Amino acid sequence: MFDFVVKGTAFSSENPKEVKSLKDHLFCISDKGIIAAVISPEEKEYSQIIKEYREQNKFYEYSENQIILPGFIDLHVHAPQWAQIGTAMDIPLNDWLHTYTFPLESKFSDEEFAKTVYSDLVSQLIANGTTTVLYFGTIHRAASRILAEICCDKGQRGLVGKVVMDDKEQNPDYYRDESTAEALAETEAFIQDIQKLAEKAPQGIYPVITPRFIPSCTDDALKGLGELAQKYDVHIQSHCSESDWEHNFVKDRFGKNDAMALNDFGLLTEKSVMAHCGLLADEDMQLFAKKGTAVAHCPISNVYFGNTVTPIAKLLHEYEVETGLGTDISGGFSPSLFDNVKQAVISSRMLEEGVDQNIESEKRGVANSRITLNEAFYLATAGGGESLSLPIGKLDVGYAWDAQIIDLVGKNTFIPRYSKEETLMNLFQKVLYLARPEYIQEVWIQGKKVHEINKRMTEV
């Protein structure tokens, strides 16, 4: 009845605040890679299922020194910027784009170069436990298609955008779309191309409409992209209210904030994911909630380029905006969502107000801004799934079997437990704070094992 059954101890978000622990549960996976049943040791069929699937050699059992987490969902990666990861973090956003990033991205006209960088990146992200990624490519249709093909080959769920930058004043001549008409035609051709490619990818490959950010696009391009989004009902991604420079640029051009301007062009939909959003006004958040548009929170990048802390507690609880997590490679230096989970908590604690608001020197910060580790984990998993409107990010019935197996005590790993009474939720916290990529023993996407540590899964 099931394709295979997995036994192990797992953690999965119930909602933004609550994580449930599933000790020694059985995860029964269908031939489509979907979780068809989750069975606890108390249920009467538990032993029978183990016996039956063990006999058929379709039973995977993880030990008490291993735990299962849902695969992470990265809502914001600039794939070409992998080539400059961990470097060029020294200047403000707009200078950074022109000094380092546009020259690098322009090199992706070279398809061989694209193949090398994208292949390394997709492997690295999988090894870091990331099973779904919302990618910006470059302006090049061919290189962006190569990225989607590599996701197909390696089994990663990829949502990929050919970037649109058609404004002749804001973008350098060596790196922009030739014309607005060409930018729109190339985007439409890319959508059709990727939808065709997707027929061969059971884990899901999706085209994404990708205006880089408002300053890089003409009004006609933004309008045309909104129309394409409606015609093809595809995902949309962009940067929104990230930095002071960009925020003020949009205000000068349209007399309103990014969110309102993007909405005027039909670019805020249920399938939109907007990166950063550190400078959203309350009305912008309300609009996001109304439209079902999601925020990709990039806490490491925001320290370097946004100079802001995105108000996640407010987005999640006051306005109930769909929110997930992004590395923003290479605005963020780390390919790991474990690192971004930690930074999301750290940044929110820094935004928190002083202890006693009656004392003058403690009147600082923003009340109720801290988030918990559970909430940060939600962003990296279930929140990401909701943001993309896909059944991913939870270890629950109807969701894809996207999982990472964490080794607690091995040759290169050590997450200490000194008491048998230690709760599973304590262990969960230790794992999120201490796990490194070398702790991730296996990664599964849509029921298929795509990574085993120290073993090459696909030939490049």
Q: Which residues would be at the binding site for ligand GUN (CB under 6 A)?
A: 78, 93, 97, 101, 212-213, 239, 242, 301, 305, 328, 331
Q: Is 328 a binder of Fe ion (CB under 5 A)? A: yes
Could you tell which of Fe ion, ligand GUN, none binds residue 322, using a CB distance below 5 to 8 A set by kind?
A: none
Q: How far is the CB of 310 from ligand GUN (least distance, A)?
A: 13
Nearer to ligand GUN, 305 or 377 (CB): 305
For residue 293, what are the contacts with CB-CB under 8 A and spacing of at least 6?
268, 269, 270, 272, 273, 274, 287, 321, 322
Stretch touching Fe ion by CB under 5 A, among 84-92, 114-122, 253-261, 322-330: 322-330
Position closest to ligand GUN via CB: 331
Q: How far is the CB of 93 from ligand GUN (least distance, A)?
A: 6
Nearer to ligand GUN, 145 or 239 (CB): 239
Could you tell which of Fe ion, ligand GUN, none binds residue 180, using a CB distance below 5 to 8 A set by kind?
A: none
In a 3-state reduction of DSSP, which class is residue 457? coil
Could you tell which of Fe ion, ligand GUN, none binds residue 84, using a CB distance below 5 to 8 A set by kind?
A: none
**Distances in whole angstroms, Cα of residue 424 to Cα of each of 143, 192, 403:** 45, 47, 18
Placement of tokens 């908590």 in the chain: 345
Q: Is 149 a binder of Fe ion (CB under 5 A)? A: no
Placement of tokens 């403690």 in the chain: 362
Could you tell which of ligand GUN, Fe ion, none binds residue 294, using a CB distance below 5 to 8 A set by kind?
A: none
CA dihedral (381, 383, 385, 388) positive or negative: negative
Nearer to Fe ion, 26 or 133 (CB): 133
Could you tell which of Fe ion, ligand GUN, none binds residue 305, using a CB distance below 5 to 8 A set by kind?
A: ligand GUN
Q: Distance between CA 256 and CA 247 in Å, rounded?
A: 9
Nearer to Fe ion, 167 or 328 (CB): 328
Binding track over 36-65 against Fe ion, x by CB under 5 A: ------------------------------
Could you tell which of ligand GUN, Fe ion, none binds residue 399, using a CB distance below 5 to 8 A set by kind?
A: none
Q: How far is the CB of 300 from ligand GUN (least distance, A)?
A: 11
Q: Distance between CA 274 and CA 336 in Å, rounded?
A: 20
For residue 459, what are the contacts with CB-CB under 8 A and spacing of at least 6?
none
Q: How far is the CB of 424 from ligand GUN (least distance, A)?
A: 37
Q: Distance between CA 3 and CA 53 in Å, rounded?
A: 9
Residue 304 CA to chain centroid, in angstroms?
19
Nearer to ligand GUN, 13 or 138 (CB): 138
276 contacts 302 by C-beta, under 8 angstroms: yes
Q: How far is the CB of 80 from Fe ion (least distance, A)?
A: 11
Stretch touching Fe ion by CB under 5 A, among 248-256, 325-333, 360-368, 380-388: 325-333
Q: How far is the CB of 404 from ligand GUN (least distance, A)?
A: 26
In a 3-state reduction of DSSP, which class is residue 272? strand
Q: How far is the CB of 379 from ligand GUN (least distance, A)?
A: 18
Nearer to Fe ion, 33 or 211 (CB): 211
**Distances in whole angstroms, Cα of residue 415 to Cα of each of 47, 72, 119, 176:** 30, 20, 31, 48
CB atoms within 10 A of CB 425: 13
Beta bridge partners of 39: 26
Smallest CA-to-CA distance from 190 within 235, 220, 245 is with 235
Nearer to Fe ion, 257 or 301 (CB): 301
Judged by CB under 5 A, the chain residues 255 through 284 that form the site for Fe ion are 275
Placement of tokens 């192990």 in the chain: 8
Strands 448-452 and 130-136: unpaired
Q: How far is the CB of 332 from ligand GUN (least distance, A)?
A: 8
Q: Is 167 a binder of Fe ion (CB under 5 A)? A: no
For residue 345, what are the contacts with CB-CB under 8 A and spacing of at least 6?
370, 371, 372, 373, 376
Position closest to Fe ion via CB: 328
Placement of tokens 């991913």 in the chain: 392
Alpha-helix runs per DSSP H in 199-243: 219-232
Largest CA distance in the chain: 70
Nearer to Fe ion, 242 or 322 (CB): 242
**Residue ranges in contact with Fe ion by CB under 5 A:** 275, 328
